[in-house]
Chain A
């Protein structure tokens, strides 16, 4: 669900940044107010946890994998406002440090995964589970699972709508889409299917698994939210509303989501322009983009709904939305039934599955060693000649991914220490100029101009002594996997209507083939994504992350967020170590090869639960360590940046380049 840069127009991105800022401000205030300083390490751990959960890949029938976000889980455990900050920070670490999800598109990603998802999911959870329900009530994991499922799917729906509106809003005169090329009638079913069938189930199972684990093993964790946000229900959650009403409200909300996206006054109207301070981020193009938006919507609204020719994706959208909601409702009902039945069956069985290890081993220090421990186990041979071997399981693959994260971080630290051009630039200046260049790239409409920009990033990589081969590979390995697959179908006349240049036959009397608009659009998108990713990778590889953190602090991000961000990054590595240890410990005790995917899945759910328990214990200790050194909730920092001539020259060069690019783009025609 991570949207990379280049898929959304800069004005769309600005709208979502605008929508996210007031949410962040509120979340920051609430989190700070609610339980003062104790919250900070907890939220940081939540962020690290969300990052890790997004790494827990689970196999699905068709051979690919899906991952959960963990937003609803964090909302249930720590409260929805904490989830906003935690997931936002996980996404920021991914975008800035690991190139996963765009920097310009960060606002949109936050809106979908860090705002919509936790609030929708938590709303559903609260509607299903009342505060008076016991902590161990089976309703809690059930409600959390339903909330997670619904939350993820609503988030996916938002993503689909954001994609689907792009070709309607942003295209050239001859119909070439400038950004994501698919229409609502295509994006919604595609996203809805993947998330209803696969990712939603993964999210629900993981969430329920963790809550169930905590009910058994670590109940205090479940009390955190109850103790910390006592006023939550009074302020925001509907009281004594049945779950039917919650679902109806949800349906209305989901239906209205695109309205919120399109309404010109929406996000900007909510917060004062002075607070947003868009000029600082070089977002001067926003008003025209908004006018564009507004104009489009009026046309669509008053030109009527043209059902016959399927020209209006709004119809497709509405139909898909209704179908989607029906499917969600159906699945929710079925899940309810099945889980309810399973729970009833469980309750009737004796609870012999849980073994209290401590009770067994600790209490009898002087007991005789059991005989079997002194004898060799017959039939098992250490050489592995008995039984069949299989290559690493998916859990192992996930952990290799974890090792990759570590390697990548180390590699970035190495390259950032080299003496090169970009390493010499002040990180604040670098960050600001990167944002400017990203927006410039997003505004360009001619392929040659973008090719020139991409070439310039290669030049910068060489001047910064980065291994250019690695640099190119890192960018282009990503593109065929995601963008290529996504964009290819868009070249066909089914998706992008227009002048057919490569005819492929006919279909019910219509000529079918690749259209010039489709090809142009695909080319534009691929090169734009490549340029955007290159720019971010340039920043990541030439700036030590601690400096980047400091740059964020001195630019515009509040200290509290920076503190959480820094700690989250720090604990990411710590928790990664714990995950690896847990897996190694399990592997050491396993007999035979990992043949059973289901047991792997159970390990992931239980592991995620144990991890949360560990993370929470760690956060308590960290908080004490902070308090012991005089921390009372205010964050102070050392600011040690001084601008030099080279920074001025670099800023000027970037400005000049941006002007040249935009000018050249205009000269080539739009």
Chain B
């Protein structure tokens, strides 16, 4: 299997681009307010923000699961709209080039067995059963879960479910991988494994966008950080070093607690 970078159609510009995007849940509760963002090929971008600041919604917009109320989203040089995704050709192209690993593995692992779970995506892409089987076998091997292939998801631990969820996305060989809180609720060893995997995938040419509020992983997992404020706007952008050094910024977006007078920081940033 080869995981080569393959970004045609963008002419050297960004892979994904948001222009002034706003989104409101149920037309009432704002989740994104005038957000503009560009993601370039083979970049690692981290979306930072407190709970409820709009990171997850942004990932859903990037994956074409919800559509902006205002503004434009372009991926691989084409506009992504609900109407465009109705087109089968466009849908297949778009879905196979962007993969999304959800925060809640229980939502993502819905098939009766691990094997069927991993086969779900490639079958929808229209590969033949023989091709699908070969790919599924490779993916199981790669993520070291071949022994789980015929197990049912309810028998799996949280870490195993995460591996299956990732396998079910990787098997489609997407160019862009979106991760929502990748290391949340994982034990340290599994978290470490996942971070290594993300770095390896990036080296193999994948573009990575991840949402997190875990500041410890940024040095490894991000080339660039995008910080969201609690009013659902982008507050700052920069390298992990710059962002982590800006204590006032992190306090203003409620990512770290304000220090009380006379108290010493309990955690060195």
Q: Please tell me if the beta carbons of B65 and A41 are within 8 angstroms of each other in the complex.
A: no
**A549 with B107, Cβ < 8 A, contacts A570-B152, A629-B172, A639-B129 known:** no
Question: In the docked arrangement, what's the CA distance between A626 and B169, Å?
Answer: 11
Q: Residue of A at shortest CB range from B178?
A: A628
A-contacting residues, B98-116, CB 8 Å = 98-100, 102, 104, 106-108, 110-113, 115-116
Structural contact, A638 and B95, CB atoms closer than 8 A? no
- A630-B107 contact, Cβ under 8 Å, with A220-B26, A546-B112: no
Query: Smallest CB–CB gap between A116 and chain B, Å?
Result: 30
A136 within 8 A of B: no
The answer, yes or no, to whether A632 is at the interface (CB within 8 Å) is yes
- The answer to whether B26 and A625 have CB atoms under 8 Å apart is no
The SS class assigned to the A binding surface is helix
Interface residues of B in 37-67 (CB under 8 A from A): 60, 63, 65
Is A509 interfacial (CB-CB < 8 Å)?
no
* A637 CB within 8 Å of chain B: yes
Q: Which of B96, B110, B133, B152 contacts A625 (CB 8 A)?
A: B110
Q: Is the CB of B121 within 8 A of A625?
A: no
Q: How far is the CB of A220 from chain B (nearest CB, A)?
A: 7
Tell me how far the C-beta of B250 lies from the nearest C-beta in chain A, rounded to whole angstroms.
16
Q: Which residue from A628, A632, A638 sits with its C-beta under 8 Å from B116?
A: A638
Interface centre among B65, B112, B125 (most CB of A within 10 A): B112
A224 at the interface (CB under 8 A from B): no
**A624-B60, A629-B169, A637-B123 given as contacts; is B112 within 8 A of A545 (CB)?**
yes
Q: Tell whether A636 is near chain B: CB-to-CB under 8 Å.
A: yes
Main secondary structure of the interface of B (DSSP, over half): helix
Contact A630 to B124, CB < 8 A, known contacts A621-B102, A621-B107: yes
Minimum CB–CB distance from B112 to chain A (whole Å) comes to 4
Establish whether residues A632 and B124, one from each chain, have CB atoms under 8 Å apart when the complex forms: yes
Q: Are A629 and B121 in contact (CB under 8 A)?
A: yes
Cβ proximity bits A537-548 to B, threshold 8 Å, 1 near / 0 not: 000000011100
Cβ < 8 Å to B, chain A residues 517-547: 544-546
If A638-B123, A638-B133 touch, does A626 touch B65 (CB 8 Å cutoff)?
Answer: no
Say if the beta carbon of A566 comes within 8 Å of chain B: yes
Q: What residues of A have a CB within 8 angstroms of the CB of B19 in the complex?
A: none
B65 contacts A624, C-beta separation under 8 Å: yes
B112–A570 contact, CB under 8 A? Answer: yes
Complex Cα spacing A41 to B110, Å:
9
A 616-641 to B, binary, CB cutoff 8 A, 1 in contact else 0: 00100110111111111000111100
Tell yes or no: A92 within 8 A of B by CB: no
A630 touching B92, Cβ below 8 Å: yes
Tell me if B119 counts as interface (CB < 8 A to partner A).
yes
- Proximity bits, A189-222, B CB within 8 Å = 1, else 0: 0000000000000000000000000000000100
A389 within 8 A of B: no
Which of A546, A569, A618, A629 has the largest count of B CB atoms less than 10 A from its CB? A629
Query: A572-598: which residues lie under 8 A (CB-CB) from chain B?
Result: 573-574
Query: Do residues B91 and A630 form an inter-chain contact, with CB atoms below 8 A?
Result: yes
Contact status B110-A570, CB under 8 Å: yes
CB–CB A630/B96 < 8 A: yes
- Residues of B within 8 Å of A41, CB to CB, are 110
- Which of chain A's residues have a CB closer than 8 A to the CB of B95? 627-630
| B154: Cβ under 8 A from any A Cβ | yes
Contact A570 B168, CB 8 Å, known A630-B92, A632-B88: no
Cβ–Cβ < 8 Å partners of A631 in chain B? 120, 124
The chain B residue with its CB closest to the CB of A544 is: B150
Q: Is the Cβ of B129 less than 8 Å from the Cβ of A546?
A: no
In the complex, chain B residues whose CB is within 8 Å of the CB of A161:
none
State whether B110 touches A622 (Cβ < 8 A): yes
Nearest CB in chain B to that of A618: its residue:
B107
Say if the beta carbon of B153 comes within 8 Å of chain A: yes
Q: Nearest Cβ distance between residue A249 and chain B, in whole angstroms? A: 37
Interface residue? B225 (CB, 8 A): no
Query: Within the complex, what minimum Cβ distance (angstroms) separates B91 from chain A?
Result: 6
B132 at the A interface (CB under 8 A): yes
| Chain A residues within 8 Å of B, Cβ to Cβ | 41, 220, 410, 413, 544-546, 549, 566-567, 569-571, 573-574, 618, 621-622, 624-632, 636-639
What residues make up the interface of B, taking CB atoms closer than 8 Å to A? 26, 60, 63, 65, 88, 91-92, 95-96, 98-100, 102, 104, 106-108, 110-113, 115-116, 119-121, 123-125, 129, 132-133, 150, 152-155, 168-169, 172
Pairs A–B under 8 Å by Cβ, sample size 14: A220-B26, A413-B152, A546-B112, A621-B107, A624-B107, A625-B100, A626-B110, A628-B98, A629-B121, A629-B169, A630-B96, A631-B124, A632-B124, A639-B129
Apart from A628-B63, A629-B121, what 11 extra A-B contacts exist at CB < 8 Å? A570-B110, A571-B110, A618-B106, A621-B104, A624-B65, A624-B107, A625-B100, A629-B124, A630-B172, A632-B124, A637-B123
10 pairs of A and B residues whose beta carbons are closest in the complex: A630-B124, A621-B107, A629-B121, A636-B123, A573-B154, A630-B95, A566-B112, A546-B112, A625-B108, A628-B100
